[in-house]
Amino acid sequence: MTAKKSAREELQEIAKALQLSVEFPPEVLAETEAWLKEPHIDDPLLVDRTAMPFVTIDNAYSKDLDQAIFVEKEGDGYRVAYAIADASFYVRPGSALFAEAMKRGASYYFPGFSIPMLPRPLSEGLVSLNADGARRAIIFFHHLDAKGELKETRLERARVKSRAKLSFNDVQRLVDDSKTSPLGGRDFEPSMLLLREVGRRRMELAAKRGLVRYRREEVSVQLDGEGLAFSVMELVRDEVELWNEQISLMCNAEGGRLLRECENPAIEPIYRVQAGPEPERLASLATLTAHVAKRHELPESPWVWKPEVTPLSKYLEQLPHAKPGTKEDRLVAALTRQSVMVNLRSEYSTEPGKHVGVGAEPYARFSAPMREMVGVFLHKEAVELMTGIHPTAEVDEVLRAEVVKVANRSRGMQRKVQDLSNEVVMNRLFTPELTKPKASRTRFTGTVMGLTSNKVHLRFDVPPLDVKLYLFDIAPSFKGAWLEPAEEGAILRAKNTTAALMVLGQPLTVMLSKRDEKSRRWVFEPVAV
């Protein structure tokens, strides 16, 4: 009898099928070992900035630390120093490391483990801005006025030394009450207090530009022994995360601008672009909010979005913060999801354009050079901008085109990793249900997040998973009616009727009906509560 596979083994099989390997070729490991022996941290061409009390701020479990920050007063304004790990120094065109990074394109994340783009001795050691010694970095020096408006940005290749690896929660505790924080009195405390000032000013400026801030949550699925554990993690939990995000966005926007404005044709920028939502989709969203408010018998304010009066960012901001599981909480979650869905996906391009998701034009991804191949290339271009030393322009142009392909391909690969990992999660969760009599099967309650021409999107409360209910599967629960969405997707009804069988944002309870092996999906049916 074949032993049952663990969750880790199943996920590792997915990685193998996708040709994603934790292991690196011998020639890559040999180059890595050579860099570890001769890291060139004492390079005389580097500006020594080790006296500046940089710190990294990331999730508590992060090991590949791409950025470190230091903020100080400059007259009545501020100087923000944002140091980014100098991956391009070690990952050079023509090297085995570069070729392997191009092959992988990015780091990939599975529940419980990751497959890095670079060997861990680099991505979590020599290149990572750890607090155990000096590191190479490219520093973005941003000069801001008293209101947080950007006046100037300049780049510098330098040697830095992080004072501490801080989590978002660590910094939040420090700035909220330095007297009770264990970090109070450290040399970086003034910098963190100034980060709060700068972060809030940059957020105010972003709000004036109409930047949409979504209330997003992500499901964290981790390996727990031989199984899987679920938790809902808000994407942005502390104010510190918003402040840090603003500095990162400023860095990427300024990096893109500096490369675009360079008149030297040898500089080859790569941009991340996202076109704005189509006017028709925005109009449909506005109409949808009106229908939803009417169906739920809610007042126009704050539930109905009127684009001619209120920007979408302000509308979402004014929606109530309600207790989880309440009618208002479910409705806000559904309307937020629909607001996100009007957007187009971002992509990498050799041509500059607006990125509406971050409110910048141009925008380039400098801030993750150990996890994205495009970051390595952009750092290389930034160094060329600083030094004036360029390879053959024709060679670089061809390489840039390849990097863009790799970058867009890797984004698709991460979506595939997520989809296949979710399938493992659902198989483990729902397979035991089929062994139970129908009357004893678990009732899962969730929120109706979307109604489309062929399915209902449902987000379970516990565990926090998204499932799809296909209309032809649930039709028997409604006397075999021909089901269709109406009122811009605010309701589900039987064809040629006006009564709502289901309303966006409502709670819905379902149970597992069967497994459709042909389409590799789980079939659910609504149940009366």
Show the 3-state SS of 49-76. CCCCCEEEEECCCCCCCCEEEEEEEECC
pLDDT at 232: 43
* CB within 8 Å of 224: residues ≥ 6 apart: none
pLDDT at 511: 96
pLDDT at 213: 64
What would the DSSP string read from start to end of 422-473?
HHHHHHHHHGGGGGS-GGGSPPEEEEEEEE-SSEEEEEESSS--EEEEEHHH
* Residue 462 amino acid letter: V
pLDDT at 174: 96
pLDDT at 100: 98
Pairing verdict, β 108-110 and 113-115: antiparallel
pLDDT at 230: 52
> Which residues make beta-bridge pairs with 514?
523
pLDDT at 464: 85
CATH number of 435-526: 2.40.50.140
Pairing verdict, β 135-144 and 217-224: unpaired
Query: Of the candidates 34, 85, 147, which has an alpha carbon nearest to the alpha carbon of residue 378?
Result: 85
User: Average pLDDT of each block of 10 consecutive residues along the chain (529 residues)?
Assistant: 73 95 97 98 97 95 94 98 97 96 96 93 97 97 97 98 96 94 96 97 86 60 58 56 93 96 92 93 97 97 95 90 92 95 92 90 94 96 91 79 96 94 89 94 97 96 91 95 97 96 97 93 89
Q: Domain boundaries in the chain? A: 7-273+347-423, 435-526
pLDDT at 389: 83
pLDDT at 4: 76
pLDDT at 235: 40
**Residue 149 burial by CB count (10 A; 0-12/13-18/19+): exposed, middle or buried?**
exposed
Q: For 299-328, what is each residue's pLDDT tens digit?
A: 999 999 999 999 888 899 899 988 988 999
Tell me the C-alpha distance between 158 and 163, whole Å: 16
pLDDT at 226: 52
Contact 79, 138 (CB under 8 A): no
109-143 burial string, b = 16+ CB within 10 Å, else e? ebbeeebbbbbebbbbbbbbbbbeebbbbbbbbbe
pLDDT at 386: 94
Q: For 206-217, what is each residue's pLDDT tens digit?
A: 888 766 665 555
